[in-house]
Chain A
Amino acid sequence: GDSVTQMEGPVTLSEEAFLTINCTYTATGYPSLFWYVQYPGEGLQLLLKATKADDKGSNKGFEATYRKETTSFHLEKGSVQVSDSAVYFCALGEDSSYKLIFGSGTRLLVRP
């Protein structure tokens, strides 16, 4: 079945460092791909999405490109802030379904 694998955390960075969180997927069909962010004590919020190959999703300085050839959707940000500290989830829309398949989450900690 469809699945999502993302890098283990925690990822600890200094403020203004470059961020990459890796995400790869296995899917039948051509799923949409998503990144969600969860701040402490809150629900998951959609950060960005891409609906087809080579699409780039972007929001709040974060971006991710849908790479069909490598089945990847890595999250990047050029300069992280302390306020970006959160858990990041990669997800895909399951084939012919309303369900989302989530990765296990990657905790990001940004130090001042």
Chain B
Amino acid sequence: QKEVEQNSGPLSVPEGAIASLNCTYSDRVSQSFFWYRQYSGKSPELIMSIYSNGDKEDGRFTAQLNKASQYVSLLIRDSQPSDSATYLCAVKGNYGQNFVFGPGTRLSVLP
């Protein structure tokens, strides 16, 4: 059974700080990794994808991937109250396999 684990939170950070969200996965052959943001009562929206080891930056967001440690993280710089949401990690294995989602981490950015 492929598993994706995240701390459920809530993770509370002050406005302007860096929020660090972590995700581990069990399937060593996983190839594609995604972070989704989900506001309360809304559907998930894709914010980052990463496929290779290392860092990938997009605005205030940085995704980090370490396949050897089976670990992927999301850093949010200069956190804003509007970043308060649940962040879902999703992992996909080889061609034809489906995404497996983690349970999500709830982030609260305090003004």
Whether A associates with B in a native complex is no
Q: Spell out A's residues near B (CB within 8 Å).
A: none
Q: Spell out B's residues near A (CB within 8 Å).
A: none
